[in-house]
Amino acid sequence: MVFSSITFIYYFLPIVLILYFIIPNKLKNLCLLLSSLFFYFYGEGKFLWILLLSCIMNFTYGLLIEKYRDKKLSKIVFSIAIISNIGLLMYFKYLNFFIDNLNNIFNVNLKLLNVVMPIGISFFTFQTLSYVVDVYNNKVKASHNLIDFSTYVSSFFQLISGPIVRYRDIEGELKERKYSFEQFGSGVFRVIIGLSKKVLIANELGALASSLGGLPDKAVLTYLLIGVSETLQLYFDFSGYSDIAIGLAKMFGFHFPENFNYPFIAKSITDFWRRWHISLSTFFRDYVYIPLGGNKKGILKHIRNIFIVWFLTGFWHGASWNFILWGVYFGILLIIEKYFLKSFLDKHRIFSHVYTLILVFISFIIFNSDSIQEIFVFLKSIFGFNHLPFSNFSTMYYFRSYFIILICSCILATPVIKLVKKVFEHKMLKPIGSVLEVGGSILLLVVVTSFLIDASFNPFLYFRF
């Protein structure tokens, strides 16, 4: 089941909301847990046991680590917890990748295993890892209620594609939550914004990229448009999902951390990663980079730490060399920025924005390619080394057809709507702003619904991670 579906919006969500708000407070977490397990079972029935195993396993680890704190057994349990969580992820997500590479390197013919990756395993594994580490480091008390803990791990708001929520962020709300019409309305508005990003923008950009990719005769502009549309599609798809997750959490009384902050207005690659997939970058910062020593143990170890973090960031996204290359690419750029470009970029703001956009654009060409060879073909074509014409009739046809959606997506990737909303926060304009917000939300939901009824292209891209 996906958020951007008639089944979720008009059947699953209303039923869960009604049940949730009519039952006593002490049963609300159980309601959320059962609803979340059904949500996962609906799409990934045969892998539900893995989610349940992860919940029970890490709940037990937390209790044992806390019970035997400051004793050798606590460290043993902690080590087992790390190995078993990472082992689960490695088996389902990366085992065939390793076998395939062993075959290529040693010219052997080991048989690939029939292993299918459960949806969302990267996200809920990182959540349980953060919990175990925080309990071990005494930053959070272990949960003594399996239903509460399982609700944290498996809540349908963020189970499939994040954001990565830490137990300490919502520990208090798992036990007691406050509700208000204002908060519920804010959550509904955020959900509709997320659905609109996904259905009205990301899906259309995906259709454009797919159509251009299928052209028999391509031009430089073809590749440029594919690169731009795929980059913006990924942003609106994933930030839209995060908006829906954050909005749903608000409706049910939770406050999840933000996951995107207009990354395309970044003034450096460092700044970009403070704004893009914030929950992932802060996870690697807090649980890998800082424990390795960060920048406090000399230049060589600092460079080593950056490479480790960005290799892992790339590898986390998928069992493919293009993702590893993507991560290493960012690692190299961040090292260059930190040691050579920082002061220059701070002084030349216009250049820094253009520089960042170009490098991010290239990064997502790497990210979206299916092979290393495809990356080089794409880059050579964009920079004119494949002797292609700049444009052709077919490309211009699609460019004209999708011109409005391209312009709108570029504008909406900036804080322009946020600035307009601020204007209407003035006490004289607030009533008008409220009416526009409610009316606009209803209109957007109607349009989104009409698109979904006729949808033929509606994937969530981050489901594959």
pLDDT digits (tens, 9 = 90+) for 417-443: 888 878 877 777 778 878 888 898 999
Q: How many CB atoms lie within 10 A of CB 146?
A: 14
Q: What is the DSSP string of 23-71?
A: S-GGGHHHHHHHHHHHHHHHHHGGGHHHHHHHHHHHHHHHHHHHHTTTS
Residue type, position 414, single letter? T
What gap in Å lies between CA 65 and CA 136, rounded to an integer? 6
Are 243 and 193 in contact by the 8 Å Cβ rule? The answer is: yes
What gap in Å lies between CA 153 and CA 170, rounded to an integer? 11
Are 124 and 5 in contact by the 8 Å Cβ rule? The answer is: no
Q: At which residue do the structure tokens 């409610």 appear? A: 438
Residue 95 tokens, joined: 């085992």
Residue 74 tokens, joined: 């606590």
Residue 245: closest CA among 342, 126, 134, 123? 123
Confidence of residue 464 (pLDDT cuts 50, 70, 90): low
Q: What is the pLDDT of residue 69?
A: 92
Residue 350 tokens, joined: 């216009």
Active site residue 353: no
| Percentage with pLDDT > 70 across the chain | 98
- Phi/psi at 120 (5° precision): 80, 0
Q: How many CB atoms lie within 10 A of CB 117?
A: 19
Section 189-209 average pLDDT: 95
Per-domain boundaries in the chain: 6-177, 183-464
Q: What is the DSSP string of 88-154?
A: HHIIIIIHHHHHHHHHHHHT--PPPP---PPTTHHHHHHHHHHHHHHHHTTSSPPP--HHHHHHHHH
Residue 456 pLDDT exceeds 70 = no
Note the pLDDT tens digit of each residue in 382-405: 988 888 999 999 999 999 999 999
Note the pLDDT tens digit of each residue in 89-141: 999 999 999 999 999 999 989 998 888 899 899 999 999 999 999 999 999 99
Q: At which residue do the structure tokens 């397990």 appear? A: 37
Positive or negative: CA dihedral 238, 239, 240, 245: positive
Are 150 and 131 in contact by the 8 Å Cβ rule? The answer is: no
Are 205 and 229 in contact by the 8 Å Cβ rule? The answer is: yes
What gap in Å lies between CA 262 and CA 411, rounded to an integer? 11
Please count the residues of the chain.
465
274 Cβ partners below 8 Å, 6+ apart?
261, 266, 281
Q: How many CB atoms lie within 10 A of CB 395?
A: 23
Section 63-75 average pLDDT: 94
Confidence of residue 461 (pLDDT cuts 50, 70, 90): low
Residue 154 pLDDT exceeds 60 = yes
Q: What is the pLDDT of residue 316?
A: 95
What gap in Å lies between CA 386 and CA 374, rounded to an integer? 13
Residue 392 tokens, joined: 């052709």
Are 48 and 40 in contact by the 8 Å Cβ rule? The answer is: yes
Q: How many CB atoms lie within 10 A of CB 167?
A: 25
Residue 167 pLDDT exceeds 60 = yes
Residue 229: closest CA among 247, 209, 243, 256? 209
Residue 369: closest CA among 324, 409, 435, 431? 324
Residue 320: closest CA among 87, 92, 103, 101? 101
- Phi/psi at 348 (5° precision): -120, 85
Q: What is the pLDDT of residue 458?
A: 53
- The model carries a pTM of 0.93
Residue 423 tokens, joined: 């204007």
Note the pLDDT tens digit of each residue in 317-329: 999 999 999 999 9
